[in-house]
C-alpha cells in the first residue's frame, strides 16, 4: 500500500470517528495556530494538520480547506496598510500586481495587497486529491440534505477500507433516502472493485452513475466466474435503462425542435389562412426578432435576463411593424395572385437579408443566455434536460395559448375567423376585410418575431437565420391544415420529433428529405391536412 493511500486512510478514519456534529467554534487563537501550522509544515505533516482543521468543528474550516485546495490561502509576510504581518488571508482576485484579499478569520474583504507581500500556502496534487474526499465527508454532517446528497455522490469511487465502517454508521443514521442510497452505492462500488463482492453487484445493477458502470465493467472481466456473470447481468440492466434515457432525451430534443417549428409556423398559418398569401419573407421576420434580442443586449450590457424579457414585446413590435410595412407596400396590391405574392415576398426576403448585412454585419452574432436559462435539469444520472430548451417549449405553449384566446375570445379573432371562412360574406356583414388583413398580418409577423427571440437562445443570430426555418414552417402549415392553430401545434411537434428520431441514423439532410417525402405522401391522401379548414373558403 502506497504512502499516499495510507495517509488517506488515516485522515479519513480520524475524521469519520469524530462526533457527527461538532458545534463548538474554535477560538481565533486556535484557528490562527492551525493555519500557522499548515503554513509552516512539510507536505508530509500537512495531511495531519488538514485532519485537525477538518475535525476542529470550526464553521470556517471548509472555507479554509477549499481556499487551500485552490492555492488561494496565503499569509501576509510584512506589515501593510490593510493587514499586519502573519495575517492569514484568502485571495479573492489574483490578477495584476495587487491582489484582492479577505481576512481568513473574519471572512471580510480587507482590500488589495501586493502579491510580493503574500506567501501562498503550497499544496501538491496528492494533498489536493485527499482534500476532495475530506470536504465531502465534512458535508455529510451538515443539516442541508441537498448538500449531504452532493457529498455522498462525490464519494463514489473514492471510498477505501478505512472509511467503509464509519460510512456505514453514517448511512444507518441518515434519514434522507436519497443520501442513504448514494452512500450505499459508494460503499458498493468499493466492495465490487476491491473485494469482488457479488452481493454488492446487486446494489449497482440499476445505477446510471459512471463510477458504478466502470466498476461493473471491470468486474465483468474478472476471473471469478460468479462475479463476472453477475456484473454482466447488471450491465445489461443498466444498458436498457440508458437506452430508455437516450430515447427520452431524443424525444425531448424533438419536442424542443417542434416547439420552435410551432413558433415559426403559427404566424404563417394565420396569414396564409386568412389572406392566402405565400409569404416567403416570413423567415426574415423571424430574423428581425432574433436581431432585436441581440440589440436589446447591446442596450443593456451585463443584464442578459432583463434584456431577454424586454425583447419579447420589442421583438413582437419590430416584426409586426415590418409586417405591416410589407402588407401595405406590396401584398395589398397582389391579393388573389399567390404566385406573384410568392415571388414578391421572396424578393423582400433578399432585400431584408442584404439590409441586415449592410447595416449590422454579415457575421453571426451571439446572444448571451441568462444564468437562469443556462445549465440543465437532472432527471436522473443518465438524463439531463437543458434549461434553455425547456423554457422554449414552455414559451411556445404560452404563445399558442395566447393566440387561441385572441382567436376565440376577442372581436379581432371573430372577424379573422369570419374572413377566413368567407371573405365576401364577412364584407357584407360590415366587417372591414382590409383592416382585418392588416391586423392579421401584423399579428402573424409579430409571432414570427417571438420565434426569433426564442431561437436566439439556442443558435447564433445571422442574416440567414430565417432561411433555415421557412421551408419547415410551410411543411408544418400544410401538414397541420391551413389556418388551423391546433393543426399547427400538432404538426409542428410531430415533425420536430420525427426529424429528431430520424437524424441519428439517417443524417440531418436525409432526415429532412424523408420528412418531405412523408408529407407529400400524406397530402395525397389528405390534401387539406390533419385539421382541414371549414367554411366556403375551404371548398373553393
Q: What percent of the chain has pLDDT over 70?
A: 91
Banded pLDDT at 292 (limits 50, 70, 90): very high
- Could you identify the residue written with the cell 453571426? 364
pLDDT top residue among 507 and 476 = 476
* Nearest one of 10, 23, 13, 92 to 58, comparing CA atoms: 23
Residue-wise pLDDT for 417-455, tens only, equals: 777 777 778 778 888 878 888 888 898 899 999 999 999
Banded pLDDT at 1 (limits 50, 70, 90): very low
Which pLDDT belongs to residue 22? 39
Q: Judge contact between 97 and 115, C-beta under 8 A.
A: yes
Which pLDDT belongs to residue 483? 67
Q: What is the DSSP letter of 223?
A: S
Which pLDDT belongs to residue 539? 47
| DSSP 3-state of 175 | coil
* H helices present in 410-432, as ranges: 411-421, 423-428
Per-residue pLDDT for 99 more than 60?
yes
Q: Judge contact between 284 and 452, C-beta under 8 A.
A: no
Which pLDDT belongs to residue 162? 62
Residue-wise pLDDT for 313-359, tens only, equals: 999 999 999 999 998 888 888 877 778 888 898 999 999 999 999 99
**Phi and psi angles of residue 300, each rounded to the nearest 5 degrees, phi first:** -125, 70
Cα gap 52→235, rounded to integer Å:
41
Q: Judge contact between 52 and 88, C-beta under 8 A.
A: no
Cα gap 123→127, rounded to integer Å:
6
**Phi and psi angles of residue 113, each rounded to the nearest 5 degrees, phi first:** -130, 140
Per-residue pLDDT for 374 more than 50?
yes
pLDDT, mean of residues 466-493 = 83
* Nearest one of 182, 234, 228, 197 to 213, comparing CA atoms: 234
Which pLDDT belongs to residue 17? 46
Strand 98-103 to 88-93 pairing: antiparallel
Residues 6 or more apart from 524 whose CB is under 8 A from it? none
Domain extents for the chain?
245-370+387-539
Banded pLDDT at 537 (limits 50, 70, 90): very low
Q: Rounded to two decimals, what is the model's pTM?
A: 0.70
CATH of 245-370+387-539, one of 1.10.8, 1.10.3470, 3.40.1130, 3.90.550: 1.10.3470
Cα gap 323→308, rounded to integer Å:
22
pLDDT top residue among 528 and 491 = 491
* CA R_g for the chain: 32
Banded pLDDT at 266 (limits 50, 70, 90): confident
Which pLDDT belongs to residue 37? 86
Amino acid at each position: 500500500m502506497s504512502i499516499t493511500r495510507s495517509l488517506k486512510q488515516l485522515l479519513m478514519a480520524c475524521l469519520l470517528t469524530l462526533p457527527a456534529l461538532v458545534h463548538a467554534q474554535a477560538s481565533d487563537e486556535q484557528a490562527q495556530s492551525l493555519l500557522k501550522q499548515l503554513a509552516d509544515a512539510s507536505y508530509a505533516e500537512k495531511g495531519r494538520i488538514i485532519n485537525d482543521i477538518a475535525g476542529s468543528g470550526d464553521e470556517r474550516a471548509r472555507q479554509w480547506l477549499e481556499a487551500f485546495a485552490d492555492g488561494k490561502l496565503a499569509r501576509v509576510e510584512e506589515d501593510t496598510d490593510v493587514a499586519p504581518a502573519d495575517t492569514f488571508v484568502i485571495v479573492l482576485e489574483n490578477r495584476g500586481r495587487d491582489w484582492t484579499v479577505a481576512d481568513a478569520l473574519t471572512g471580510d474583504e480587507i482590500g488589495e495587497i501586493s502579491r510580493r507581500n503574500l506567501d501562498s500556502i503550497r499544496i501538491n496534487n496528492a494533498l489536493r486529491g485527499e482534500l476532495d474526499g475530506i470536504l465531502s465527508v465534512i458535508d455529510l454532517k451538515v443539516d442541508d440534505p441537498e448538500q449531504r446528497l452532493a457529498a455522498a455522490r462525490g464519494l463514489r469511487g473514492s471510498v477505501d477500507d478505512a472509511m467503509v465502517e464509519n460510512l456505514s454508521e453514517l448511512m444507518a443514521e441518515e434519514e434522507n433516502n436519497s443520501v442513504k442510497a448514494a452512500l450505499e452505492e459508494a460503499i458498493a462500488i468499493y466492495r465490487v472493485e476491491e473485494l469482488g463482492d457479488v452481493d454488492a453487484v446487486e446494489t449497482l445493477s440499476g445505477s446510471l452513475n459512471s463510477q458504478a458502470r466502470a466498476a461493473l465493467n471491470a468486474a465483468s472481466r474478472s476471473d471469478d466466474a460468479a462475479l463476472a456473470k453477475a456484473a454482466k447481468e447488471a450491465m445489461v440492466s443498466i444498458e436498457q435503462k440508458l437506452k430508455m434515457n437516450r430515447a427520452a432525451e431524443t424525444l425531448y430534443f424533438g419536442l424542443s425542435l417542434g416547439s420552435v417549428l410551432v413558433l415559426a409556423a403559427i404566424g404563417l398559418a394565420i396569414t396564409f389562412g386568412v389572406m392566402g398569401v405565400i409569404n416567403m419573407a416570413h423567415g426574415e421576420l423571424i430574423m428581425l426578432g432574433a436581431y432585436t434580442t441581440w440589440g436589446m443586449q447591446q442596450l443593456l450590457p451585463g443584464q442578459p435576463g432583463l434584456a431577454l424579457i424586454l425583447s419579447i414585446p420589442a421583438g413582437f413590435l419590430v416584426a409586426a411593424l415590418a409586417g405591416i410595412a410589407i402588407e401595405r407596400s406590396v401584398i395589398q396590391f397582389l391579393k388573389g395572385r399567390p404566385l406573384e405574392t410568392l415571388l414578391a415576398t421572396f424578393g423582400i426576403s433578399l432585400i431584408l437579408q442584404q439590409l441586415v448585412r449592410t447595416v449590422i454585419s454579415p457575421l453571426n452574432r451571439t446572444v448571451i443566455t441568462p444564468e437562469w436559462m443556462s445549465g440543465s435539469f437532472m432527471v436522473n444520472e443518465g438524463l439531463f434536460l437543458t434549461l434553455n430548451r425547456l423554457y422554449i417549449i414552455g414559451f411556445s405553449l404560452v404563445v399558442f395559448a395566447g393566440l387561441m384566446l385572441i382567436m376565440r375570445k376577442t372581436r379581432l379573432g371573430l372577424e379573422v375567423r369570419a374572413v377566413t371562412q368567407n371573405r365576401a360574406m364577412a364584407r357584407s356583414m360590415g366587417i372591414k376585410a382590409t383592416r382585418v388583413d392588416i391586423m392579421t398580418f401584423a399579428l402573424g409577423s409579430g409571432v414570427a418575431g417571438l420565434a426569433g427571440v426564442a431561437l436566439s437562445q439556442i443558435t447564433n443570430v445571422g442574416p440567414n437565420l430565417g432561411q433555415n426555418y421557412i421551408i419547415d414552417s410551410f411543411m408544418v402549415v400544410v401538414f397541420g391544415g391551413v389556418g388551423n392553430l391546433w393543426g399547427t401545434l400538432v404538426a409542428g411537434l410531430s415533425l420536430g420529433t420525427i426529424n429528431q428520431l430520424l437524424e441519428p441514423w439517417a443524417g440531418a439532410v436525409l432526415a429532412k428529405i424523408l420528412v418531405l417525402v412523408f408529407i407529400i405522401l400524406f397530402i395525397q391522401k389528405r390534401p387539406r391536412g390533419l385539421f382541414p379548414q371549414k367554411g366556403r373558403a375551404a371548398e373553393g
